Structure 1
Amino acid sequence: MSTSPSPRAGLPFTLANGVVLKNRLAKAAMSEQLANGRQDPDKKLERLYRTWAEGGVGLLISGNIMIDRDHLGEPRNVVLDDASDLAAFRRWTRAAGAQGTHFWAQLNHPGKQTPKTLTKEPVAPSAISLGKELAPMFNRPRALSDGEIVALVGKFARAAQLAKEVGFTGVQIHGAHGYLVSQFLSPLHNQRSDRWGGSFENRLRFVLEVYRATRAAVGADFPVAIKLNSADFQKGGFSEEESMRVLEALAREGIDLVEISGGTYESPAMVGAQEQPREQPKESTMRREAYFIAYAEKARLRVRTPLMVTGGFRSSAGVEAALAGGATDLVGLARPLAVEPALAIPLINDPAYRIELPTPTTGVKLVDQLTFLVLTWYETQLARMGSGKRPLPDLNPWRSVLATLCGMGMAAFGKRRA
């Protein structure tokens, strides 16, 4: 193993539009659940993101910011629209921009993935319910009309325009994890017979229109990225080959960065489980940490667009290997930053550094499942940092269950995002 610091993780990266990120490490989106009662950024979000900015990463991507306050994915999502308190957003972006860190807003609409406790009538490309296992928690959606789809394209663009106005330095369209954009792309969830569904080209239309409207709203010099599924990992769903075709289409349109992820609420590959390849991977592949690096290697042969791979990174060696291989330009970090907010410093400077993440469990499997402890435990760590406290890697999982219940009630539970 090399005895010198990573020559790549600490290097600047320049996007095609000239925007420079100070290093190759990015904080990927995580569910913070720290909005106030009006769905505006709470002061805890300011503290949390200032902590991460001071921790040394080059790029911070917010947890999903909803574009429609009538359709939330979680009880305390932030919403950015014309009813938002823009002063609160400006305080948030100033805090996150400390140390020359870029701060991008992840823009999202949940579509059918909104709990019945939050939305009585969800909307989606088609009136198709989530799987039977999820039926108790999610209502059957109503199919969007053509006019409503056009209006949603406009809402994405308006949110992006407002994001630029309040001080975000870029935006990311959430096109993964089974949310609305992902639903339009999926042949399993989009069975429309009009211009928005059916053929691949029609299913592609929504994300292209969202991108084009967003680009028109913010201009050529403002970064516009997307989080894209490598696949949905569902029979009859969005496949890897279709994902590659979406990637190529967005590359032709001029998108600035693609973050690669995978899975949906029904098949959550983005939460702790690595890719499930059809063939036994090579030993060299098994040694690598990143969940979606094999997809990125294939994508690199098809597009020149900058790529970001998130998920699985735990060591300086793993980060260096991913960057040295050329498949990814940026390394996305999520849960490791929930327990070590200054993770970027050792990843860049200590070639032997490795972080081990706990597997939180109450010892009662049903409680772990009902509270989705694999995520809410980390949300509790974010809340601690937002309150000015240090994370507790040995935090008792029961404390996390209690804290989440007290903070949000039973609406906090059920299937959750990564």
Structure 2
Amino acid sequence: MTQIADQIQIRNTTFKNRMIKGAMSEALANAAGEPNHLHLGLYEAWAKGGLGCAITGNVMVDWRAKNEPGVVVIETERDLAKLKQWADVGKKYGMVQLIQLSHPGRQCPKGLNKETVAPSAVPFGPMLATTFATPRELREDEIQDIIQRFAQAAAICEKAGFEGIQLHGAHGYLISEFLSPLTNKRQDQWGGSIENRMRFLLEIYQAVRAVTSDNFIVSVKLNSADFQRGGITEDEVIQVFKAIDAAGIDLIEISGGTYEAPAMAGAKSASRKASTIAREAYFLDFAEKIRSQVQCKLMVTGGFRTAKGMNDALDSGACDFIGLARPLAVETDLPERLIAGQDVRYAVKPIKTGIPFVDKMAIMEIIWYAAQFKAIGEGRRPDPKLSPLKVFFKYLKGNITAVVKGRVNSRKSA
């Protein structure tokens, strides 16, 4: 039987077990997007807890396109020394680390950046239009620039000592926006057919491969579905999985949803079949469907809560890795406990402020956990009873401050 404690290898890197921390927003960087001691403290805590691998939160490839305040940005070797320290934290404890590289596309709060860009100028629906501006359509030269930004950031990550990177192609960010017909209305080589819509992802992958070594791991996070009417179809999703697999991707993390339909946070769990709920993982059914059609390693994240559920998923052959996210925000020693046969201590519940429009956006599923990460990074214990309302108002204050500073800096540079 395949178990969570079993080793596995990708290229020349050995993962000491099958548990990977899925990407979660840390929001710990300064206004310049620099990593710091908080990142080191946070990832050291997870490494000490026995994780086989950690995928970082969103790391932006363009300072002009940040999805939130406090996000790390890698454009140049400016922060190479600190990145090397971060990579060394994993090596010290035998924890593989993959940097998640991302461009948010249209999913940037109003005022945070000078402008937002996307494949097409498609606005959000009424519920989120007050938060996110209508983006400007990218020009051909800008698309090529972004592709090279992903490659440049990946090369820096390898130089710093990280074992690999993950391309964020899910959850409605830029790569995902190119894949979806709802957000990609282009009539050129980047839009229309699924072959054109997946071109952006494939060219980013090829650009990354061209500037990194044969031993560098390149993975991608993809949606099994957008859960939106008129979005990418399951047949098209399967074509994307098969195409990126054929191109040579090492690992695909299976997820789902967007800001407008946040299945990645369990928002669609109520509609899942009882048999699927019993098996815990949100996207395990799709993993079983795609397993026979791709050769690369597969990772399923979302919903796992018991050692038995994880071991059963691995033994079924549907996936090679178990992705853990929110439980690790309040239990940094969870991997060691799971290997010992124990289960998650704290049930993951929706984080609610009591403010309807805030709770509908599922934004608390990001910022409440980010507050826990800061505590861990500072060497404090996480607090499972932390007030969501208190966290939200602190976040709102930080956003307003970031927007004001951004506008002042823009005027100075104009």
Answer whether TM exceeds 0.5 for this pair.
yes
**Aligned-pair CA distance for 1:378:** 1.4
Residues 142-183 of structure 1: CA deviation (Å, up to 9, x unaligned): 111111111111111000001111121100000000000001
Question: Is contact 1:293-1:309 (8 Å) kept?
Answer: yes
Question: Is contact 1:368-1:374 (8 Å) kept?
Answer: no
Secondary structure at the aligned position of 1:103 is classed as strand
Residues 219-259 of structure 1: CA deviation (Å, up to 9, x unaligned): 22110000001011111111222111101001111100000
Question: Is contact 1:317-1:351 (8 Å) kept?
Answer: no
- Is 2:243 the partner of 1:252? no
Aligned equivalents of 1:91, 1:62: Cα separation in 2: 14
What residue ranges of structure 2 are gaps of 5+ in the alignment? 404-414
AA aligned to 1:258 is I
Aligned to 1:315: 306
AA aligned to 1:350 is G
Query: Under a length normalisation based on structure 2, what TM-score does the superposition of the two structures give?
Result: 0.92
Aligned equivalents of 2:397, 2:132: Cα separation in 1: 22
- Is 2:291 the partner of 1:300? yes
CA distance 1:411–1:239, change in 2 (3 Å): farther
1:380-391 paired onto structure 2 within 5 Å: 380-391=371-382
2:159 to 158, 165, 168: 165
Aligned to 1:3: none
**Aligned-pair CA distance for 1:83:** 6.2
Aligned to 1:94: 88
Aligned to 2:185: 191
Aligned to 1:71: 65
Aligned equivalents of 1:161, 1:56: Cα separation in 2: 28
**Aligned-pair CA distance for 1:274:** 4.0
Aligned equivalents of 2:306, 2:369: Cα separation in 1: 19
Aligned equivalents of 1:331, 1:371: Cα separation in 2: 23
Aligned equivalents of 2:280, 2:362: Cα separation in 1: 27
Q: CA RMSD in A?
A: 2.1
Residues 99-118 of structure 1: CA deviation (Å, up to 9, x unaligned): 11101100000111111121
CA distance 1:311–1:325, change in 2 (3 Å): same
**Aligned-pair CA distance for 1:95:** 2.1
Question: Is contact 1:371-1:401 (8 Å) kept?
Answer: no
1:234-273 paired onto structure 2 within 5 Å: 234-273=228-267
CA distance 1:258–1:340, change in 2 (3 Å): same
Secondary structure at the aligned position of 1:270 is classed as helix
AA aligned to 1:105 is I
1:13 to 8, 32, 46: 8
Aligned equivalents of 2:361, 2:167: Cα separation in 1: 29
Query: Under a length normalisation based on structure 1, what TM-score does the superposition of the two structures give?
Result: 0.91
Aligned to 2:347: 356
CA distance 1:351–1:138, change in 2 (3 Å): closer
Question: Is contact 1:111-1:183 (8 Å) kept?
Answer: yes
AA aligned to 1:96 is G
CA distance 1:275–1:203, change in 2 (3 Å): farther
Aligned to 1:416: none
Aligned to 2:363: 372
CA distance 1:370–1:141, change in 2 (3 Å): closer
AA aligned to 2:227 is F
Question: Is contact 1:120-1:139 (8 Å) kept?
Answer: no
By percentage of residues, which structure has more helix?
2
CA distance 1:157–1:400, change in 2 (3 Å): same
AA aligned to 1:127 is A
1:73-222 paired onto structure 2 within 5 Å: 73-82=67-76, 84-222=78-216
AA aligned to 1:88 is K
**Aligned-pair CA distance for 1:358:** 4.2
- How many residue pairs match? The answer is 403
Question: Is contact 1:129-1:139 (8 Å) kept?
Answer: yes
CA distance 1:352–1:135, change in 2 (3 Å): closer
CA distance 1:128–1:367, change in 2 (3 Å): closer
AA aligned to 2:113 is T
**Aligned-pair CA distance for 1:272:** 2.1
Aligned to 1:324: 315
Aligned equivalents of 2:110, 2:35: Cα separation in 1: 24
- Is 2:336 the partner of 1:345? yes
- Is 2:17 the partner of 1:26? no
% identity of equivalent residues: 46
Aligned equivalents of 1:119, 1:178: Cα separation in 2: 18
- Is 2:384 the partner of 1:393? yes
CA distance 1:132–1:253, change in 2 (3 Å): same
AA aligned to 2:287 is A
Question: Is contact 2:219-2:249 (8 Å) kept?
Answer: yes
Aligned to 1:415: none
Residues 59-96 of structure 1: CA deviation (Å, up to 9, x unaligned): 10000100000000001110001163221212222223
Aligned equivalents of 2:89, 2:396: Cα separation in 1: 28
Question: Is contact 1:263-1:270 (8 Å) kept?
Answer: yes
Question: Is contact 2:64-2:114 (8 Å) kept?
Answer: no
CA distance 1:172–1:292, change in 2 (3 Å): same
Aligned equivalents of 2:275, 2:165: Cα separation in 1: 35
Question: Is contact 1:40-1:89 (8 Å) kept?
Answer: no
Question: Is contact 1:233-1:239 (8 Å) kept?
Answer: no
Question: Is contact 2:259-2:361 (8 Å) kept?
Answer: no
Secondary structure at the aligned position of 1:227 is classed as strand
Aligned equivalents of 2:277, 2:351: Cα separation in 1: 24
AA aligned to 1:331 is I
